[in-house]
Structure 1
Amino acid sequence: MLSKPKETPGAQTMRRALQVLRVLGNHHEEGCSVNEVMAATGLERSTTHRLLTCLVEEHFADRDALTRRYRLGLDAMRLGFASLTRAPLVASYEAKVQRLARLSEDTVFLLARQGDYTVCLKREDGAFPVKIFSTRVGDIRPLGIGVGGMAMLAASPDEDIARIRQQHAPAFEAAGLSADRLDKMVARTRRSGYAELLDTVTEGVAGVGAVIPDPSGVPFAAISIAAIKPRMTPARRAELGALLIKTLAEE
C-alpha cells in the first residue's frame, strides 16, 4: 500500500490557498460564496475570508460586488495561458491558422475560452501590408469583446450570455455593445454560423470569427480573421465567414 507523500513543513498557508484556488476553478462559471468555499475546503471562516481577500488583492481571484461570489481572477487566467501556449490546441490548429492567413492575406487569431474570458493563443499575419495589432498573443478580454469571443458567446446558453453581459457590463458598454445590440449580434451569429464585428475593440478594424466545432457542444475555442474596415466589405465578410466554417469543419 502506497503511503501518503510527506507534506513540506511550513507550507500550510500556501497549501490552503491552493485548496481555495482549486475550488474557485471548479466553480468558476457560477462563482462561490464564502460559505461554499468553507464547505468545500473545511477551513474556518476567518481563514477562508483572509485567503480570499489576499487572492483578490493579488488578482488571482475576483469578487462580484453585487453577488459577493468569488471567481478566478486575471492573474490565474494568465497562468493558465502560460500552459495553453504549449497545449495540443495550438499544435492541432496551427496549420489551419496558417492556411487561413495565406488564403485571406489578413491577420488570423486562435483564441481559447477561460471562464468568462478569451485568451489569444496564436496570431498569424497574412501578406496584406496593413497588419492588425489590436490583439496580441496573451491578450485577455471578456467573452463577446472581439469577434472570436462573440462567436463563442453566441454558442453559449442564453442564461450564460445574460450573466456574462451583467458581470462585465462596463466592458460591453465601452465596446458599444448595448444589451439590444448584443442580442441582435448573438441572433445573427447563430443564424449565419459565424460572428461579424466592426469598430468594437479598435476603431477602423473589422473581422469575422467562428467557433471550433466540438462534440460536447461547449464553445471552447475559436478562430477569427481581422483586417482594416475598408477591406472588410459585407461581401468579403460573408466570403471569409464561409471559408472559416468550411476550414474548421475539415478533419
Structure 2
Amino acid sequence: MEDRKLTVRSVERALDILLCFTRNDDLGLTEIAVQIGLHKSTVHRLLSTLEERGFVIRDAATEKYRLGMKIWELSTHLSRSDDPAILLLPAMERVRDHLGETVSLYLREGKERLRIQAVQSNQAIRRVAQVGARLPLYVGASSKVLVAFASTEEQEALLNDPEWPSWIDRVSYMEQLYEIRECGYAMSFEEREPGAAAISVPIANCHGVVTAALSVSGPVNRLSIDTLYEYAPYLMEAAHDMGLMIQ
C-alpha cells in the first residue's frame, strides 16, 4: 500500500509539473520547484523522466524546459466531434470576416477563463489573442458573461473566495451580472488592457446550458460603445447558431 501511495504521489507531482506550462512557454528548474513547492532535486528527477518520455524538452543553452512533442502527439487524438474549439472555428471566422475584429472563445475553468480558440483580425492595428491564455474571472466582458450565467451556488463560491479581489463591490458586481443576464451580453472598456474594448455573449449548448463565451475585441478607437451596441444582435444570433452545434 505504501508503494502504491508513493507511485500515485509521483504521478500527481509529474502532472503538477506539466500544468506549470499552462502559463509559461519555458521554465527553469528553480521556477518549477517554486511553483509546485518541491525540492529541486525531486523536481529534477521527475523532469528527467518526463524528458526521457518526450513530454518535456530541455534547452541546453538556457537550461530551461518546455513541453515536448509527446504532448502534441496526444493532442492529435483528442475527439474532434465534440471539441468546440474545432467545431466552432468556421463560424468564428465568419464573425471575424463580418465584423473585422478579433474573435475569441472562452470556457470557465475553476477561478479563471481559458481562451480555447481565437481568430485574429486582419486589420493592421488589432488585438492579438493568444490561444491557451488564462485570465481572471473578475474582469473583462467574457469573464462577466461566464459568471453571470453560472449557477447561484457557483457565483456565491467565486465571490466568497478569499482570492476574489476585495476592491470589487459585491452589490455593484451582482447588479452587473443581473443586467448581463437580462440583455444577453457584456461589454468592457480598458478593464484588463489599456486601449482595448470587447463585447461578449454566452453560448448555450443544445440543452440550453451556457458552456462558453464568444467575444469580439479590438482597439477602443474602433469599438466605441455605439459600435458594440450595433454588434450585439449579430453576435447573439451567431452564438445561438454555434450553440446548436455543441452537445
* TM-score band w.r.t. shorter chain: 0.5 to 0.7
In structure 2, the partner of 1:154 is 148
Q: Which residue of 2 aligns with 1:128?
A: 123
Deviating more after overlay: 100-109 vs 143-152: 143-152
Q: Equivalents in 1 of 2:230, 2:151: separation in Å?
A: 27
1:124 deviation in Å?
Answer: 1.1
Instruction: Identify the range of structure 1 (181-190 vs 204-213) with the bigger mean alpha-carbon deviation.
Output: 181-190
Question: Alignment identity in percent?
Answer: 17
Deviation at 1:18, TM superposition (A): 5.7
Distance in 1, matches of 2:125 and 2:240, equals 29
Residues 103 and 84 (structure 1), Cα distance of their counterparts in 2 relative to 1, 3 Å cut: farther
Alpha-carbon offset, residue 219 of structure 1: 3.0
Distance in 1, matches of 2:152 and 2:198, equals 23
Counterpart residue type for residue 223 of structure 2: M
Q: What is the rounded CA distance, in whole Å, between the counterparts of 2:37 and 2:227 in structure 1?
A: 46
**Structure 1 residues 97 and 140, CA, compared in 2 at 3 Å: closer, same or farther?**
same
Residue type matched to 2:179 in 1? Answer: R
1:238 aligned onto 2:229: yes
Question: Does the 8 Å CA contact 2:139/2:191 hold for their aligned counterparts?
Answer: yes
Structure 2 equivalent of residue 227 of structure 1? 218
Conservation of the 8 A alpha-carbon contact between 1:207 and 1:224: yes
Measured after TM superposition, the shift of residue 218 of structure 1 is 3.9
Q: Distance in 2 between matches of 1:114 and 1:145?
A: 15
Q: In the alignment, residue 155 of structure 1 is paired with which amino acid?
A: F
Hey, what's the Cα distance between the residues in 1 that align with 2:178 and 2:12? 40
Matching residue of 1:200 = 191
Cα drift, residue 99 of structure 1 = 0.9
Give the equivalent residue in structure 1 for 2:112: 117
1:175-219 CA deviation, whole Å, 9 max, x = no partner?
xx4324322321221111111111111122111111111244443
TM-score, normalising length: structure 2:
0.63
Give the direction of change, closer, same or farther, for the CA distance of 1:198–1:225 in structure 2 (3 Å limit). Answer: same
3-state DSSP class of the match of 2:200? strand
Q: Find the aligned partners of 1:101 and 1:182 in 2 and give their Cα distance.
A: 30
Gaps of 5+ in 2: 14-33, 39-70
| Residue type of the alignment partner of 2:88 | Y
Distance change in 2, residues 1:85/1:125 (3 Å): farther
- Length-normalised TM-score, structure 1: 0.62
For 2:204, what is the secondary structure of its paired residue? coil
Q: Deviations over 1:152-194 (max 9, x none)?
A: 1100123322321232323x74xxx432432232122111111
Instruction: Select between 107-116 and 215-224 the one with higher mean Cα deviation.
Output: 215-224
Which residue in 2 is equivalent to 1:91? 86
Residue in structure 2 matching 1:188, options 173, 179, 191: 179
In the alignment, which residue of structure 1 is the partner of 2:53?
A: none
- List runs of 5+ in structure 1 lacking aligned partners: 1-8, 21-53, 59-78
Per the TM alignment, residue 234 of structure 1 is displaced from its structure 2 partner at its CA by: 2.2
What's the secondary structure of 1:223's corresponding residue? strand
- Cα distance change on mapping 1:147 and 1:84 into 2, 3 Å: farther
Question: Which whole-Å CA distance do the structure 1 matches of 2:177 and 2:105 have between them?
Answer: 20
Residues in 2 aligned to 1:204 and 1:180: alpha-carbon distance in whole angstroms: 27
Does residue 57 of structure 1 match 2:51?
A: no
Q: CA RMSD of the aligned region, Å?
A: 3.3
> How big is each residue's C-alpha offset from its partner over 1:54-87, in whole Å with a ceiling of 9 and x where there is no partner?
99636xxxxxxxxxxxxxxxxxxxx9xx959955
Specify the alignment match of 1:13 in structure 2.
Answer: 6
The one-letter amino acid of 1:15's match is V
Corresponding letter in the other structure for 1:105: G
Change beyond 3 A, Cα 1:16–1:149: same
